[in-house]
Chains A and B, each alone.
Chain A
Amino acid sequence: MNYHWDWGVFFRSTGVGHEIYLDWFFSGLAMTLGLALAGWIIALVLGTVLGVMRTLPGKVLPRIAGAYVDLFRNVPLLVQLFIWYYVIPDWLPDAIGNWLKQDISPTTNAFITVMVCLGLFTAARVCEQVRTGIQALPRGQANAGYALGLNIVQVYRHIVVPQAFRIIIPPLTSEFLNIIKNSSVASLVALPELLGQTKQLVDFSAAQFEAYTVGTLIYFVVNIALMFFMRWVEKRLRVPGLIALGGK
């Protein structure tokens, strides 16, 4: 195979103002990170609530959260995205459906859709991590709170959840890296995030090897950097002997 490598392509003008092709990677990366972050906020908040629900006494709340997890973990992400994008808008009340389809730009529409899809998908995974973290704590931790007169909300808020989160920083970090990688499905609903921009560059310039090389490298570098950053955060928050003696 004699492919003619042409790295100069990135510095050529796209024909729009002063923009060069390299700029597409930056705008794509910004979109990817924005999407991942927005989805992550949904996932973290909802996942924490669901994870706590799974550990509560009684049957109803744990079962609701369990059903949520089963549903969102057993349908492929791409299928979920297509349902959110192509099916749900028709089922929404007309006001919201029309707003999504007509009032806002297709890009905004796609962004909101993917953000919700990624957020709800990842929430199921965060839920399971939070549940695991809570269940790893000795029963005596909560009991010590109850014995002092704290109510269940205070026990979760001040004792159980803060400790559980310190335990699950490593798996939560991989979930965050996953959401960045998973956000690439957005290119299938025409959202110009990193993969979308890479594909577009290929269409415009035919420099497919160069484009995919750079796109891949950007995903890789961003994820590795985040991984090291989170390791540092974990060290800073680490409490020695967090899981100490058992005791009830």
Chain B
Amino acid sequence: MNSDNSAMIRFNQVNKWYGRDHHVLKNISLEVKQGEVVVVCGPSGSGKSTLIRTINQLEPVNDGEIWVDGVQVNHPRTNINRLREEVGFVFQHFNLYPHLSVLQNITLAPVKVRKMSQADADQRGMELLERVGLSNKRDAYPSQLSGGQQQRVAIARGLAMQPKVMLFDEPTSALDPEMIGEVLKVMQNLAESGMTMMVVTHEMGFAREVADRVVFLDHGEILEQAAPAQFFNNPQCDRAQQFLRQVLAPMHG
């Protein structure tokens, strides 16, 4: 099942339908190399969430292949739980476990899945909380945190499994504007540490500064892929030009 390709994530001719005739992903082929940061953008409903959720098979696909670190994730014989351990996922609505404390949120998977001792997991969890600037919140419950803090805990929870890849699905779009910066900062630090990342976001400042490549999705199709400078300064297709006008100057859209 090993591919000779060195890409960390690879889509090969992937198609997905919802029901019989809603074609949400159309012939997607895409590669993300080790250490690369790829931003996915596109209009609402274009299939960005669906695309990123197929990588850890929260959404199954109908045909094509998806590979992560040389393992085909949509192969029937792949142990999907093992694969998901290697792929961190950060949700738009955080999805922290409200009945567990911050530290317990982070240590649950390392203890239950990786069979790490609670003491080791706690220690690692504290290091991660430090890294996202929340070590004083270890015993708080999610509902006692602001949205920005919850999302930083969610990032720490994903990192606790020591994943090879981190996926983000609009990590800041449920946040009040004043909290967006703190989350993006954590993500930028993560990118600088060499993590392979795929990020669905409309934060074009982040895309410009942090991304190695921007992928533009529209109606389930990849219409454009380019380095940020090129994408923002000289978008090729009409749909991308229109989209950029709307996100960069929403009042004049």
Contact = CB atoms under 8 A, between A and B. Distances in A.
Contacts of B93: 138, 140, 244-247
B113 A149 contact: yes
Nearest to A143: B58
A139 to B, nearest CB: 9
Interface string B74-118: 000000011111011101111111110000000011001100000
B58 A239 contact: no
Contact of B161 (A146, A148, A245): A148
B81 A149 contact: yes
A168 to B, nearest CB: 13
Nearest to A166: B99
B99 A163 contact: yes
Contacts of A241: 98, 141-143
Nearest to A141: B95
B143 A147 contact: no
B72 interface: no
Contacts of B113: 148-150, 154
Interface string A231-248: 000000001111011110
A149 B88 CA distance: 9
B85 A240 contact: no
Interface string A51-88: 00000000000000000000000000000000000000
Contacts of B158: 147-148
Given A143-B58, A247-B93, A150 B109 contact: yes
Given A240-B144, A241-B142, A244-B142, A147 B58 contact: yes
Interface in A206-243: 239-242
Contact of A245 (B81, B83, B141, B174): B174
Nearest to A148: B109
B172 interface: no
A162 interface: yes
B56 interface: yes
A159 interface: yes
B197 to A, nearest CB: 15
B99 A149 contact: no
**A-side interface size class:** 20 to 34
A101 interface: no
Contacts of A242: 98-99, 143
A53 to B, nearest CB: 21
Given A146-B58, A150-B81, A240-B143, A163 B95 contact: no
Contacts of B88: 147-148
Interface string B41-68: 0000000000000001010000000000
Contact of B89 (A147, A162, A239, A240): A147
A141 B94 CA distance: 9
A145 to B, nearest CB: 8
B98 A144 contact: no
A151 interface: yes
A144 B142 CA distance: 14
- Of the listed residues B89, B97, B99, B144, the one surrounded by the most CB atoms of chain A closer than 10 A to its CB is B99
A146 B88 CA distance: 11
B95 A143 contact: yes
A14 B33 CA distance: 88
A19 B81 CA distance: 65
A159 B141 contact: no
Contacts of B98: 163, 239, 241-242, 244
A148 B157 contact: yes
Contacts of A162: 99
- Of the listed residues A146, A147, A150, the one surrounded by the most CB atoms of chain B closer than 10 A to its CB is A147
Given A146-B84, A240-B144, A244-B143, A159 B109 contact: no
Given A143-B91, A148-B85, A149-B85, 5 more contacts: A138-B95, A146-B58, A148-B84, A150-B81, A239-B98
5 contacts: A140-B93, A159-B97, A163-B97, A239-B143, A241-B141
A-B pairs, 9 with minimum CB distance = A247-B93, A241-B143, A149-B85, A144-B95, A148-B109, A147-B89, A140-B95, A149-B84, A240-B143
